[in-house]
Amino acid sequence: MAMKIRLTRMGSKKRPFYRVVALDGAARRDGRPVEYLGHYNPMVEPNEIQLDMEKIEQWLAKGAEPSSTVRSLLKKAGK
């Protein structure tokens, strides 16, 4: 089972809010996640990024692949 760490879209129309989640790679974008790892809000200035680095590091150690967007969020958050 190839696990992915990626964003799932929340919020209303034209007001996006994203959750960082771990889920099966074959699951749809807004499918049921295995675990919530944080959130990202691009609508505020500066962008709000809150990540649970302990949980993310555990998933990365298990072999989960972050999406390119999540990878850039990890860099911005200081990982």
The confidence band for 1, taking pLDDT boundaries of 50, 70 and 90, is low
Domains and CATH numbers, the chain: 3-77 (3.30.1320.10)
Residue 20 has pLDDT above 60, yes or no: yes
Q: What is the pLDDT of residue 58?
A: 95
Identify the residue with better confidence: 30 or 57. Answer: 57
Pairing of strands 3-12, 65-66: parallel
H or E stretch at 71: helix 68-77
Q: For residue 59, which phi and psi values (nearest 5 degrees)?
A: -65, -40
pTM exceeds 0.85, yes or no:
yes
Cα separation, 26 vs 38, in Å, equals 21
